[in-house]
């Protein structure tokens, strides 16, 4: 299957408000009521999926295969976090993204995320056989 040529630098952003459910204390990734690293990672991955989604043929999606991030600053409950993903490379079905997160005051996280393009039904069938 030929995939569309993707313009490097293409971006998408998503945002969420930090709630009690998204804190390290609640997610059991730490002991303080601040934005959890797993929540930030999920938001970054969500931004990356949104970059590719409108470009994919019907039945195709992307799955995360790598995530290397740093969580640099705490964010308290009630603040808004914005995650951005930018395509930096595409090699066949492998797409690499630069990801960043901001809380309105500063950058709170950044890193690299990789996703792989798959046919949804074939991927699930393979997963069920494992």
Taking Cα atoms as reference points, which of 12, 19, 71, 80 lies closest to residue 46?
A: 12
Instruction: Determine contact, residues 75/34, Cβ cutoff 8 Å.
Output: yes
Verify whether residue 113 is a known catalytic residue: no
Could you tell me the pTM of the whole model?
A: 0.93
For residue 24, being part of any structural domain is answered with yes
For residue 1, being part of any structural domain is answered with no
Res 4 pLDDT > 90: no
Verify whether residue 71 is a known catalytic residue: yes
For residue 123, being part of any structural domain is answered with yes
* pLDDT grade for 7, boundaries at 50, 70 and 90: confident
Domain at 75, CATH number: 3.10.129.10
For residue 17, being part of any structural domain is answered with yes
Handedness of CA 3, 101, 23, 16 (dihedral sign): negative
DSSP 8-state class, residue 77: T
For residue 77, being part of any structural domain is answered with yes
When divided into structural domains, the chain yields a total of 1
- CB neighbours of 45 closer than 8 A, spacing ≥ 6? 64, 67, 113
What residue numbers bound the domain in which 75 lies? 11-129
Of the residues 23, 49, 71, 84, only one is catalytic, namely 71
What does the pLDDT read at residue 1? 57
Distance CA 111, CA 102 (A): 13
The helix/strand/coil state of 39 is helix
Of the residues 11, 15, 16, 37, only one is catalytic, namely 37
For residue 2, being part of any structural domain is answered with no
Q: What is the pLDDT of residues 67-100, one digit of tens each?
A: 999 999 999 999 999 999 999 999 989 999 999 9
For residue 90, being part of any structural domain is answered with yes
Of the residues 45, 49, 75, 84, only one is catalytic, namely 45
Structure tokens at 28: 């059991």
What does the pLDDT read at residue 85? 98
For residue 96, being part of any structural domain is answered with yes
Verify whether residue 45 is a known catalytic residue: yes
Q: What is the pLDDT of residues 16-39, one digit of tens each?
A: 999 999 999 999 999 999 999 999
């Amino acid at each position: 299957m030929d995939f569309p040529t993707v313009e490097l630098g293409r971006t998408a952003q998503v945002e969420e408000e930090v709630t009690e459910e998204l804190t390290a204390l609640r997610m059991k990734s730490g002991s303080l009521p601040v934005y959890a690293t797993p929540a930030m990672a999920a938001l970054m991955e969500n931004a990356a999926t949104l970059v590719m989604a409108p470009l994919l043929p019907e039945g195709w999606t992307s799955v995360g295969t790598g995530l290397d991030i740093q969580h640099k600053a705490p964010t308290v409950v009630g603040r808004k976090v914005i995650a951005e993903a930018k395509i930096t490379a595409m090699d066949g079905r492998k797409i690499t993204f630069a990801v960043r997160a901001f809380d309105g005051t500063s950058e709170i996280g950044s890193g690299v995320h990789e996703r792989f393009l798959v046919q949804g039904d074939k991927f699930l069938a393979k997963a069920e056989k494992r």
